[in-house]
Amino acid sequence: MIIDLHNHSYYSDGVLSPMQVVRLAKTQGCDVFALSDHDTTAGLVEARTEADAQGLAFVAGVEVSALWNGATIHILGLGVDANNSVLQAGLQRHQTFRRLRAQQMARGLAGAGVANALEKTQQMTHAPTHTPMLTRTHFAQMLIQTGVCKDMKAVFRRFLTHNKPGGVIAKWADFDEVIRWIHAADGICVLAHPLRYQMKNPKIKRLLASFANAGGDGVEVVGARSSAAEIQRVNQWARELNLLASVGSDYHGWANQSVQIGRLSALPEDANPVINRLFSTTQLKEYAR
Ligand code: AMP
Ligand code: MN
Ligand code: MN
Ligand code: MN
């Protein structure tokens, strides 16, 4: 059974429409698929409609930015009710900050000699059907396409973080508040990509412990690039803290990225899969046929 619970569409920083990304998941052999755009649920209706048409089990997701001790983390809400007003009020707040931040990023880049970054980025990402959300991915792709940097790694080394040009202090909600938004919408809270926060192991464990303490439900144990050792390590933490185990590629679909949908290692035998909280065994059997 192929499960992928972390994917992006052009409603945030992915390239494909929700319909296209669901079709690709189907082509890749996925049985269970979640769309989880950054701080928006705008693509979920289109994705669910297409998933139903394709006979794919669909999970309504969202990847919410959050702060833990001042550091940005990402919390996946899986199986959310997108009509919930608490969740939507929270996402609105983040979308407002994103609009303000885009202007601040552009000002910072201008100071480093990159003129009209906002306009250039908007032109590059313009598509009539999607919400005008500008993420750092969009600015990064603009910097690559205009020849300022050679790849994403180079962008995030020189720009858009900390005290670098285009870096803006993140004003996301605190993680415990984000957990409350997702729970209000009946969603399951999963800490995304725990090994990508530039924290050493003891700090990641502290993060996971306070996440679990605040009511967090699970952690992404398997990602697109996870090694066997990494999977074992995160699974062990999950077991110690009684957290569910999730699986997701974090597919975005830019031409200069190699991550594919649904190409993920299996969870360890002793993991407690989050999927069992989202679907019954009978439902999963139906979809896997
Ligand atoms: P934002 O939520 O607007 O701050 O943008 C964060 C997004 O930028 C992440 O979800 C990634 O898609 C992308 N990103 C952040 N850091 C890196 C990196 N070092 N390399 C590649 N992509 C990155
Ligand atoms: Mn992203
Ligand atoms: Mn993320
Ligand atoms: Mn993501």
Which tens digits make up the pLDDT trace of 214-269?
A: 999 999 999 999 999 999 999 999 999 999 999 999 999 999 999 999 999 999 99
**Amino acid 212: pLDDT:** 98
If one residue of 7, 13, 168, 225 were mutated to test the ligand 1 pocket, choosing by the most ligand atoms within 8 A of its CB, it would be 13
Residues touching ligand 1 (Cβ under 6 Å) are 13, 38, 65, 135-137, 152-153, 156, 252
Residue 132 has pLDDT above 90, yes or no: no
Give, using CA atoms, the residue closest to atom 17 of ligand 1. Answer: 156
Residue 213 has pLDDT above 80, yes or no: yes
Q: What is the mean pLDDT of the chain?
A: 96
- Beta-carbon neighbours within 5 Å of ion ligand 2: 13
Please give the average per-residue pLDDT across 108-127, as a whole number: 91
Give, using CA atoms, the residue closest to atom 5 of ligand 1. Answer: 136
Res. 129 pLDDT band, cuts 50 70 90: low
Please give the average per-residue pLDDT across 153-167, as a whole number: 96
The model carries a pTM of 0.97
Res. 126 pLDDT band, cuts 50 70 90: low
In one-letter notation, the amino acid at residue 276 is N
Ligand 4: centre distance to CA 222 (Å) = 13
